[in-house]
Amino acid sequence: MPASPTSPWWLDAVVYQVYPRSFQDTDGDGDGDLRGIAARLDHVRELGADAVWLSPVYPSPMADGGYDVADYEDIDPRFGTLDDADTLIAAAHERGLKLLMDVVPCHTSIEHPWFRAHPERYVWADGDEPPNNWLAAFGGGAWSRDRQSGRWYLHSFYAEQPDLNWRRSDVREAVAASLCFWLRRGVDGFRLDAIDRLLKDPELRDDPPASAPPVLPELGDAGALEPVHSRNAPDIGLALGALRGAVGDDALLVGEVYLPAAQLPPYLEHVDCAFAFELLHARWDARAYRAAIAAALDPAGAAGRIAWVLSNHDFPRLPDRVGHGNTRAAALLALTLPGAVFVYQGDEIGMADGPGGDPPHDRAGRDRHRHPMLWDGDAPHGGFTPAAATPWLPAIEVDGGGVAQQSGAPDSMLSLYRDLIASRRTLGDGLSFVDDIDDGVLAYRRGDRHLVAINMSDAPRACPPAGTIVRATHPQRLGAGAPAPARLQPGEGVLAVCE
Ligand code: GLC
């Protein structure tokens, strides 16, 4: 929806996700850093993005890639200093970019001083056995025994990530204060990690066995139970209201709520928007995508408050999920949906998964989605780190090369992203699906004049009447200004305009 003078900046924004460890290293330790991010902000600006979301940069033992936070109000030395953070925030603002921090409120690192100094802030149980059958998100039981006290502590993720007890006011106040700490430093908002896990059943009742596979995929055995007591508590407003109350209405709060869109409304009472994970996980199929988009746009649910996302640091990269031949069409789709859209670093050059670390850094197998950004396919380590350094994960090749090779090449993935982001501003309000079209084609109108049509099948299909091409996925074949084609090839799509 085009932003009116009174609508918030994020309504139609493109938010670029930086995974700091893999973006740009400047000090030669093989890990990306804040100075590197500042040095590469022009890339984000030239892409046309409105904001940057930084995955966590706080002090962390890195048991979960920084999502195990040991201090909410400092910067890990591998990423730099608080001064570097201030410089980065200022550099983003100078370029007209907003900056969002990632806040991990559900749990801390087990090495956070609170775990020993304020054990009462966590969720504990006594006894010979864990108090219930709850499962952790990465599989296995959600309770571990603390060797020091002999008591059980709850961890919704790795055992190195004990869950905070959000029913306590001191926890709510302490975490809310850390958001204010970053607001005072000038950040514009926060992506709130795993907020469907903030509150649990106070009686710690068992979760029942699952009656069907989960709507959103789970790792390991985590989908074996229906998480009715361990997640998505009905009084989630207790936690989220405290955060919203502390930051005020101007700070953007984006929720990572790993639930179907229909279950988002209680969260949206307090956060501005939430990710649409059904679309991220939909199989590459016109009906499945249509259903996932319709679910997210349901007026009874999350309509107008959706943050579209097709890729992030947790899941296989786009070419690996939708197929290499469909990656351009996926970009066309994501960037023409109404509402905010999040782009994961590297998507704009078509990065695929790599081999990961040996030995792995992440026990859940997510290294493969986190290889360093390829700035220059001809430079050592892709330009990510100085030649003499050893990157924490190796640079990988990308079809079409890195940013240096793709910049200025009209048929590159990067040009497609830049053009589509520029065109987004001209699309009209709302989205309505086009019916009576070939099976395997997804088509929708934006506003009165624009139409998007994508062939998601594996054979040529008829393109619905579409007017003149604004941008096609394959500009060598379908140039801007030409009439929309009669047929679309597999993996091909057009954004067209009717005069
Ligand atoms: C979120 C993050 C993921 C992390 C988990 C636990 O899902 O995106 O990377 O492992 O929360 O904090």
pLDDT in tens, 430-464: 999 999 999 999 999 999 999 999 999 999 999 99
193 lines ligand 1 (CB under 6 A): yes
What is the arithmetic mean of pLDDT over 83-87? 98
Q: Which atom of ligand 1 is nearest to the CA of 258?
A: 7
Tens digit of pLDDT for each residue in 151-168?
Answer: 999 999 999 999 999 999
> Is 76 a known active-site residue?
no
Q: Model confidence at 480, in pLDDT bands (50, 70, 90)?
A: very high
Tens digit of pLDDT for each residue in 339-354?
Answer: 999 999 999 999 999 9
pLDDT of residue 14: 98
Report how far residue 310's alpha carbon sits from residue 319's, in angstroms, rounded to the nearest whole number.
11
CATH assignment, 14-108+168-424: 3.20.20.80
> Is 256 a known active-site residue?
yes
Closest CA to 95 of 60, 140, 48: 48
Tens digit of pLDDT for each residue in 274-298?
Answer: 999 999 999 999 999 999 999 999 9
> pLDDT above 90 covers what percent of the chain?
96
Local structure of 419: helix, strand or coil: helix
Cis peptide before 359 (omega within 30 of 0): yes
What is the arithmetic mean of pLDDT over 71-81? 98
Local structure of 104: helix, strand or coil: coil
Q: Which atom of ligand 1 is nearest to the CA of 106?
A: 12
**How far lies 27's CA from each of 24, 61, 379, 385, 478, in Å?**
10, 20, 17, 8, 44
- C-alpha 271 to ligand 1 mean position (Å): 18
What is the arithmetic mean of pLDDT over 109-118? 98
Closest CA to 371 of 350, 403, 394: 394
Does the CA dihedral 383-385-386-392 come out positive or negative?
A: negative
What is the arithmetic mean of pLDDT over 311-333? 98
Judged by phi (left if over 0) then psi (alpha if -120 to 50, else beta), residue 136 lies in beta
pLDDT of residue 1: 45
| Closest residue by CA, ligand 1 atom 8 | 314
Tens digit of pLDDT for each residue in 195-251?
Answer: 999 999 999 999 999 999 999 999 989 999 999 999 999 999 999 999 999 999 999
Range in 3-12, 35-44, 70-79, 260-269 the model is least confident about: 3-12
194 lines ligand 1 (CB under 6 A): yes
Residue 117 reports pLDDT greater than 80: yes
- The chain-wide mean pLDDT, for the chain, equals 97
pLDDT of residue 499: 75
Report how far residue 58's alpha carbon sits from residue 107's, in angstroms, rounded to the nearest whole number.
14
- C-alpha 158 to ligand 1 mean position (Å): 10
The matching CATH number, chosen from 1.20.120.80, 3.40.50.720, 3.40.50.150, 2.60.40.1180, for 432-497 is 2.60.40.1180
Report how far residue 282's alpha carbon sits from residue 94's, in angstroms, rounded to the nearest whole number.
38
195 lines ligand 1 (CB under 6 A): no
Question: Which of 19, 67, 104, when mutated, tests ligand 1's pocket best, judged by the most ligand atoms within 8 Å of its CB?
Answer: 67
pLDDT of residue 7: 84
Question: Which of 157, 191, 196, when mutated, tests ligand 1's pocket best, judged by the most ligand atoms within 8 Å of its CB?
Answer: 157
Q: Are 105 and 198 in contact (CB under 8 A)?
A: yes
Residue 4 reports pLDDT greater than 70: no
- C-alpha 373 to ligand 1 mean position (Å): 20
- Name the more confident of 425 and 245: 245
Residue 3 reports pLDDT greater than 60: no
pLDDT of residue 2: 47
Residues spanned by CATH 3.20.20.80 within the chain? 14-108+168-424
103 lines ligand 1 (CB under 6 A): no
DSSP state letter for 290: H
Report how far residue 294's alpha carbon sits from residue 184's, in angstroms, rounded to the nearest whole number.
39
Residues 6+ apart with CB under 8 A from 333: 289, 310, 442, 452, 454, 493
Catalytic residue of the set 193, 207, 353, 419: 193
Report how far residue 404's alpha carbon sits from residue 399's, in angstroms, rounded to the nearest whole number.
13
Residues spanned by CATH 2.60.40.1180 within the chain? 432-497
